[in-house]
Amino acid sequence: MEFSLGVALSYLVGSIPTAYLVGKIVGGIDIRTEGSGNVGATNVFRVMGKKWGIGVLLFDMLKGYLAVSGLPLLFSSAVLDFFLTRLVFGLAAISGHTWPLWLGFRGGKGVATSLGVILALAPEAAGASLLIWLLVFLWRRYVSLASLAMAASFPLWVLAFYRETDFIWILFPFGLGLSGFVFYTHRENLRRLREGKEKPLL
């Protein structure tokens, strides 16, 4: 019962529609009808400016980090070990961000919340992946391309940093699945990148 409650709360934390709330409260707009229409930090950055875009990014990361580092301390599992419990709670938060209850299950692409999750679960691999994001973004100025490069590199960094650990058997498949998930949520961006129609951020 405790575990199920923890999963549900992780989903609800993840489903807090940060970009939507900032758009409504600060800008008096529905972010879903502005810019790209995506309920994420990049669209807020484009529509409302750098300050609010970075704020949304950090809060969305915090949702994932909190679900993995905070909630498992309150809601343990009698069946799963602690690392696996944290991972499941992280997945619930990512699901909440991507398919939020409050917005008809149509949310963001999950990158910021996923980053918060992996920072809590695998900080070394997350830091190296984030460096990849920064290098690709500085090179091409496409957030989508940088996010895809970061996602693709994460499973490799997991192997590099954690191959001798007891939890590599679950962390590596999780990394592969997360990478595939990011590519799925960015399928339209991939199409625009191929067609040369993707817009750089700066």
Tens-digit pLDDT profile for residues 81-121:
889 999 999 999 999 999 999 999 999 999 999 999 999 99
Final residue belonging to a domain, choices 71, 96, 113: 113
Q: Are 75 and 143 members of one domain?
A: no
Final residue belonging to a domain, choices 89, 113, 137: 113
CA angle 31, 131, 92 (to 5 degrees): 50
Final residue belonging to a domain, choices 52, 80, 113: 113
In the 8-state DSSP scheme, what is residue 1? -
44: closest CA among 14, 26, 23? 23
120-154 pLDDT tens trace: 999 999 999 999 999 999 999 999 999 999 999 99
Q: Are 3 and 103 members of one domain?
A: yes
Q: Are 107 and 202 members of one domain?
A: no
What's the mean pLDDT when you consider all of the chain?
A: 95
Q: Are 83 and 172 members of one domain?
A: no
Q: How confident is the model at residue 21 (pLDDT cuts 50, 70, 90)?
A: very high
Instruction: Look at the chain and report how many structural domains it folds into.
Output: 2
Q: Are 127 and 149 members of one domain?
A: yes
Q: What is the pTM of this model?
A: 0.95
Structural domain range at position 2? 1-113
DSSP string of 65-97, one letter each residue: HHHHHTHHHHS--SSS-HHHHHHHHHHHHHHHH
